[in-house]
Amino acid sequence: MAKRPVFIASKDKNNYVMEKDINFEWFPGFSVSQKQKSIDSFHDNVRKYDDSLRLLEVSSKSKDELGVALSAFNLKITTKSGKEFSVETAFQASKVFQNGGPFLDLYEKTSKDAKKDMRIKNSGDLIYFQFFNRRWELEPKTLFYDWLYINALALNKQLAEKVVEYNAFTDIEFNPQKSINCQAKSVALYVSLYKANLLDEALESVDKYKQIITQPLNKSPNENEKVTKERIEQLSIFDEIE
């Protein structure tokens, strides 16, 4: 048996993504067929919890082409200069460690190679992220990864239109005992923001995104509060990689 979370686009306006741990039968092995058996068992038990959920596995092991395309290894970012890289590659290339980073040459590597680069493993503790000369702290957890993912998804219009037909997401490769960031959670956040009519606002700037994510919706921002004037347009956030 195994236990993994399903991420549900939440109707609770104080919590955009609800997590529910689900027990299911685990089929050991690294083959896609074994992974998909585990996914089937996982989803069967999610439906026992709530059969109204519209489920999607978000990983390269998904039986659904949409789920495969939404994997952070496959979801692409194309800059205005024509450079293309995956969300996973951008995430790894943004890491700054005690003894090095960010390693911008990783943008030239595949998702798999970027994640397995020895510098990622051997450069000491992760201390922050740096993307477009903007520093992201490690807290709140997943804030940077989610921002990177939802912006990339918004730029992939066909995927973005399809994904909002679902409201619950899993990732068979995600183990909360070993990892923090999860693409399935990021997708659920995207759908929640879309359903709450807050997606466009969240994409306007980093500051707007942080404000929306870290402040409950029932406490509307005071228009007189001082807000950082810097704004980053959605279509230009990925076009400054050197």
> What average pLDDT does the structure give for the chain?
90
Cβ-Cβ contacts under 8 Å for 104 (sequence gap 6 or more): 93, 241, 242
Pick left, alpha or beta for residue 212 (phi over 0 → left; psi -120 to 50 → alpha; otherwise beta).
Answer: alpha
pTM, rounded to two decimals: 0.89
Q: Give the pair of three-digit tokens for residue 34.
A: 């074994």
Q: What is the pLDDT of residue 222?
A: 46
pLDDT tens digit sequence for 175-185: 999 999 999 99
- Least-confidence region, from 81-85, 114-118, 124-128, 222-226: 222-226
Q: What is the mean pLDDT of residues 34-39?
A: 98
The pLDDT, as a whole number, for residue 239 is 52
Residue 188's pLDDT is: 98
Span 32-54, average pLDDT: 98
Element (H, E) at 191: helix 183-195
